[in-house]
Amino acid sequence: MAPPAHRPANNVNNQSAAFASTCIESNVNNTPIPAISGNNDLSVLMTALKELRKLMKEAPQLIAALQAMKYANNTADKLQLLMNACASSDFLDDP
């Protein structure tokens, strides 16, 4: 009789789900994200893209920081790149 096939522990999927749940719950602002469903899909998406476009026009150094994040070694370095880009921008001084 052949030995039973190796199976991963059942808690592997539970750990992944718990991690994903923690990431979702630890949202920086904990602001609700509008659900995209039904006829409102395109409208919500277009509004979000317009706001992102405005931000990128006001702070082009954010694009450079986002590109530099590709080479950062860890999360702290990535956040530091974004904070430096924001600090060097004058859009934060606008009323």
Report domain extents, the chain.
Answer: 58-94
Residues contacting residue 59 through CB under 8 Å, at least 6 positions apart: 85, 86, 89, 91
What is the value of pTM for the model shown? 0.41
Residue with tokens 């052949």: 2
Q: What does each of the 95 residues of the chain score in pLDDT, given as a tens digit?
A: 555 554 445 444 444 444 444 444 454 556 666 565 666 788 888 999 899 888 878 778 888 888 999 999 999 999 999 888 888 876 666 55
